[in-house]
Structure 1
Amino acid sequence: MFDTLAAMLDWFGIVVFTVTGALVASRKQMDAVGFVLLGTVTGIGGGSVRDMLLGRLPVFWVAEPAYLLTCVCVAFAAFFLAHIPASRYRALLWLDAVGMALFAVAGAERALLSGTAPSVAVAMGVITATFGGMIRDVLGGETPVILRREIYATAALVGAALFVLLSLAGASREAGLTAGFLAALAIRFAAIRWDWSLPRYRPRPPRV
């Protein structure tokens, strides 16, 4: 039951991330190819980077092409329907938070199963959750989401770290994944709701 729910959420996260990539293409007034490119790299980019760094080849969407085909179909559909999610961008942010939280713990789990060190597993969780969006923003000519003031990568970091810590403490897989997912989701939801951001560097005059 839990594995079925996790698989459903995994597909949900990929679809939502693909839509966010397509919306960047819509703001840039790209053609259908641009929609497919930005949507696809957002949906599967983070997991691809994770698998390559872990040496898990072929990467997940090569082994299971349904992921790639889903991203292509969703992005192409967005070319004709982008005005619908664009008018509900606030709601899409909430859905994107769900995808981010899920990818953070899923990426950390895959890294642990590959035998990596706990710190590497946490980093892989953050990479899975954020690198697709970073590639999307670079290709779309926007500031990458992990470099903006809003709390995003921090939420993924907390979720992945909590999952890894609970796993090391002997907690069940279900308990660790659920706790990490909810922690990342709560932080991201709070950041959206109350516009939280980390403090920025303020330049100071040099010491004489």
Structure 2
Amino acid sequence: MPEVIHLIDLVATGVFAISGALAAAERRHDILSFILFGTITGIGGGTARDLLLGTENVFWIAETAYLWICFGAAVATWFLAPLFRSLHRLLLWADAIGMALFSVLGAVKAVALGAPPVVCVVMGVMTATFGSMIRDTLLNQEPVLLGPEIYVTAALLGAASYTLLASYPATVLYALPVAILAAFCLRACAIIFDLRLPKYGEKNAAN
């Protein structure tokens, strides 16, 4: 299981790095900006998680492979992005995959460190959203997590599902795939069917 979690963590970092580079592509930035935003998005959430959990070493300092994955993903996006017709659509889906993976991986690390369940859920949501929030803030655009479709709720579902399932011996083996699938499916449905949570004041405005 540790090897599987590590592999998924590397994949998630690469996917989020791609989403960061795609955001730079939308703004037609240079290749160094691709690497900057790819790296910020790829490691931002995990860095905040590790600092708050007080881990001995921040993950990408302990293992520089995470940085190289971010660099490689960003450079690859520089060359491949022109092949896609809609960069924004691709960004949404890359972000959805990264969110689903990181929301669960953040909870995995918190659970492994013995954090209380509510902290595990918060760490999962933070890991999934913090990097993209920094990316969008630096690009002076509305953060994806504040978009109209469900995003944070999907991250919350993934983190909470893992934390709950991992607490029972009978379901611990299924916790990782089920939680990742739950988070991704909710976000995918939000993108495809334009699912949204009700906004404050909408009912009164309709009346």
Asked if Structure 1 and Structure 2 have the same fold, meaning a TM-score greater than 0.5 normalized by the shorter chain, the answer is: yes
C-alpha separation between the residues in 1 aligned to 2:122 and 2:84? Answer: 31
Task: Report the CA distance between 1:83 and its aligned residue.
Answer: 1.5
Residue 107 of structure 1 aligns with an amino acid whose one-letter code is G
Question: How many pairs are equivalent?
Answer: 204
What does 1:29-108 align with in structure 2 at a 5 Å threshold? Answer: 29-85=28-84, 87=86, 89-91=88-90, 93-108=92-107
C-alpha separation between the residues in 1 aligned to 2:172 and 2:17? Answer: 28
| Deviation sequence 1:41-67 (CA, Å, 0-9, x none) | 111111111001101132101000011
Task: Report the CA distance between 1:89 and its aligned residue.
Answer: 4.7
C-alpha separation between the residues in 2 aligned to 1:5 and 1:168? Answer: 19
Question: Cα distance 1:55–1:31, how it changes in 2: closer, same or farther (>3 A)?
Answer: same
Residue 189 of structure 1 aligns with an amino acid whose one-letter code is A
C-alpha separation between the residues in 2 aligned to 1:78 and 1:40? Answer: 13
Task: Report the CA distance between 1:170 and its aligned residue.
Answer: 3.3
Q: Would the aligned equivalents of 1:10 and 1:99 in 2 still touch at CA under 8 Å?
A: no
Structure 1 unaligned residues grouped into runs of 5+: none
C-alpha separation between the residues in 2 aligned to 1:30 and 1:104? Answer: 28
Q: Would the aligned equivalents of 1:13 and 1:96 in 2 still touch at CA under 8 Å?
A: no
Residue 134 of structure 2 aligns with an amino acid whose one-letter code is I
Question: Cα distance 1:3–1:90, how it changes in 2: closer, same or farther (>3 A)?
Answer: farther
C-alpha separation between the residues in 2 aligned to 1:78 and 1:52? Answer: 29
TM-score, structure 2 length as denominator?
0.88
Residue 183 of structure 2 aligns with an amino acid whose one-letter code is A
Q: Would the aligned equivalents of 2:26 and 2:88 in 1 still touch at CA under 8 Å?
A: no
Task: Report the CA distance between 1:124 and its aligned residue.
Answer: 0.2
TM-score, structure 1 length as denominator?
0.88
